[in-house]
Amino acid sequence: MTIFKGSGVALVTPMKENGEISFDSLDALIEAQIAGGTDALIVCGTSGEAPTLDDPEHLEAIRFAVERTKGRIPVIAGTGSNNTAHAVMMSEESEKLGADGLLLVTPYYNKATQDGLYTHYRKIASATKLPCIVYNVPSRTGTNILPETMARLAKDQDNIAAIKEASGNISQVAKLCALTDGMLDVYSGNDDQIVPICSLGGIGVISVLANVAPRETHDMVMLCLEGRYEEAKKLQLRALPLVEQLFIEVNPIPVKAALNMQGFSVGSPRLPLTEMTDAHKATLEKAMKDFGCL
């Protein structure tokens, strides 16, 4: 039940000056990503500021992305929540809207047990026929889903198809790949670990970097999948200074600033996130010019 191989962009949600979603800018982003070789769109995730989207606009952004993409690449909807019933509802609605898959962040703040995580994901996945990607990002959620729990989910629930692994722990990723042994697709959730995770059996990345450098991010994964790791390594290392700048403030503050520099008019983040500092904008701009995406 593989959804995609390659680079899935963790797409930002562009905003107008009045704070509403700018669908004209979202259309431009979608077209630029497809033209740039991106293999899947992930909408309304962390980079898409899902925590500050209300349900109607969240679902409208998903509907719009599906409509504008026209089946050219998969659209994966961010529908995770720390409220299981809410995640079920958003997942069911996204399936009706034509999404190709779901991205389900590990419940945050509640700090569920491993049994709680297992039951949470089984409940959501059982409510939809769509393939589900579990999103493990302990730095944001305060909870780490263990390899043993993911192996159990992959075995017991057919449409739990993949994991976005953003723990940053390569040893954990290695154990995950060993325990699941082909039952589960693994995507890097960190742009500085694309090549290492692909070398362990990963098939792609769900990427912030791809917002501003779609072609290079796609190529990095494809080089890995073709076994051309020396070339992939060079591209990974060349991208590191830019990746560092894209996370010098909390995501998606820097990537929105970067896209504005590229002329996409994505606006500012919604509060409680704020505009990037001028000092950080200067170092981000330099990194983008050095990488060749500005």
Asked if the model's pLDDT at residue 186 lies above 90, the reply is: yes
Q: Which residues are catalytic?
A: 135, 164
Rg (CA), the chain: 18
Average of per-residue pLDDT values in the chain: 97
Nearest to 198 by CA among 220, 182, 171: 220
Residue 183, SS3? coil
pLDDT beyond 90 at 250: yes
**And the tokens for 16?**
């107008």
Please tell me the predicted confidence (pLDDT) of residue 220.
Answer: 98
At 131 the pLDDT is 98
User: Please, which residues bridge with residue 77 across strands?
Assistant: 43, 102
With bands split at pLDDT 50, 70 and 90, how would you rate the model's confidence at 56?
Answer: very high
Residue 120 has pLDDT above 90, yes or no: yes
User: Can you tell me the distance from the alpha carbon of 292 to that of 294, in angstroms, rounded to the nearest whole number?
Assistant: 6
User: What's the average model confidence in pLDDT over 114-135?
Assistant: 98
pLDDT score recorded for residue 50? 97
Rounded mean pLDDT, 249-256: 98
**What pLDDT score was predicted for residue 257?**
98
Give the burial class of 245: count Cβ atoms within 10 A of its Cβ; 0-12 exposed, 13-18 middle, 19 or more buried: buried
Does position 175 have pLDDT exceeding 90, yes or no?
yes
263-289 pLDDT, tens digit per residue, is 999 999 999 999 999 999 999 999 999
Task: Indicate the SS3 state at residue 188.
Answer: strand
Average pLDDT for 32-57: 98
What would the pLDDT profile of 24-44 be if each residue is shown by its tens digit? 999 999 999 999 999 999 999
Span 6-226 CATH architecture: Alpha-Beta Barrel (3.20)
First to last CA, the chain: 37
- At 1, the pLDDT band (50, 70, 90 cuts) reads confident
| Distances 289 to 173, 194, 244 between C-alpha atoms, Å | 33, 22, 14
* Helix, strand, coil share of the chain (percent; to 5): 50, 15, 35
Cβ(44)–Cβ(78) under 8 Å? yes
On the question of pLDDT at 61 being above 90, the answer is yes
Q: Which residues contact 270 (CB under 8 A, 6 or more apart)?
A: 15, 19, 49, 52
pLDDT interval class at 165 (50, 70, 90) = very high
pLDDT at position 181, please?
87
pLDDT of 103 over the 90 cut: yes
Q: How far apart are CA 170 and CA 109, in angstroms?
A: 24
Cβ–Cβ < 8 Å for 3, 76: yes
Decide if pLDDT at 49 tops 90: yes
- Torsional class of 37: left (φ above 0), alpha (ψ -120 to 50), beta (otherwise): left
Instruction: Report pTM.
Output: 0.96
**Span 183-210, average pLDDT:** 98
